[in-house]
Structure 1
């Protein structure tokens, strides 16, 4: 609620809506959590698309600079208002039904938990009304604006219709189907007084926010700066998470540069030296051995060719000599 940037406000509201889904899961109101997920997807995509359209046309997303944006671009303004009403849980848009289904589950668990959940829902009404308050205020003098692309108008209208169609008021069969699912799952169906109470309180919270406008809150400056600075959670996350992770990353990078890289370079250099030694020593030895075997084979071949004269008496003499050797061997063996 302390943010002055429209997209940061919408992003923070997403965290809050996820909290509602966790509440629904914790109180066994899973149907309400599922309906919340579906309806929130339609509403939040509508709001972000409208914020992007204004950013395209006006070049800014800061709330004080969006005064009169909905008056200049009424189609976007109406669609954004439908999404804001849905996010606030104000009837008839969709999150009104999802809100009361999960609130019924919280009431079945504990009345104190129901009170906390109802207060959280009213806070979502406050920041939703704040998001819609700025664009609908009287316009301020501004330089020439760009035209919103025509391709964004149709998705805005479709998402706005989706937010309206998901509500039981605009689409009664949905209420009957949700009631059947809740009864089948053994989950409580919201009573009429719960719808009335949450709706009236949401309207009152929106009216108070709309009337309050931009008047400052009676809080100390330190508290205001703390709220605007995300309750110092962002700084704490940086100190406790981001900074240690970055230090670890730098240490890992230094280890990679100084140890791993050097080990790889040293291994490569050793492999090159071993390759040169192999080429200079083993390769020469292998080449010498091959050359020696080849020379011996060549000499034996030359010797083997000497007896091949083609003269018959020499062949007979060789045969006699061979048989004589065989005879001597046989005599010695026996």
Structure 2
């Protein structure tokens, strides 16, 4: 849910000893408390109403802990105050419980692909994946290659004296190192001033010493894997890659939707995406694409929401 912009209403009152105290009411904080309260209520209701006779308790606990780890630990959410830490723990605990009991979280995936003919990246979203082993066959080699690529980058950087210990780096899913994890280590140790500044651009981009990449699946391979897995395929944030020209071909091959609401899509992109969606009968989605501190864009969970029509299409597809 998109929270209102932060607005503080300042007020003053006189205490018993005659001193004037000035306070502020943060409206966003009030809304957040209400949302957390509702989420907590739903969690309690889920425990009370759920018939747990047939549930495999061990598997349920493992799944819940995995959901909490994925939501809370993987993106490295901001933990600047104790209150924020407690809020995040509470929310992720509730989401983990709800996703286990009610199936509130749908299985999904984002596949990184590359159109080598046109020379641009393509990200394909898969919603309601029924057979994850199918998409796993496609993305696992990419993850392994990306990890090996990162180890090569670490080796090169260490030749220049950066002293990176691969065993101490954070890893996606506890296994795979990305260059964002390398940059995070460099920033934390004072070897680079910021995540995506001049250092990143000159070392990992624009012909730098670590500017080399891997081979990615094609857009059609990504699309087919999602469809073969029983999922709904959505072309992600086309405004970021400006890859609108492949939409007609993807639509012919079974593309289901287009991502509309995203921080990388600008006003003109919205117009183009809506036009293609209407022409080819595609539903529209949206999302915050939140990566925590591993992203150069300041965006938070809930800043960009899915289109109602897209939500209905996905839920109807599940049912």
What range describes the TM-score normalised by the shorter chain of this pair?
under 0.3
- Larger relative strand fraction: 2
Structure of higher RCO (CA pairs closer than 8 Å, 6+ residues apart): 1
- Larger relative helix fraction: 1
> What's the TM-score once normalised by structure 2's chain length?
0.21
> What's the TM-score once normalised by structure 1's chain length?
0.20
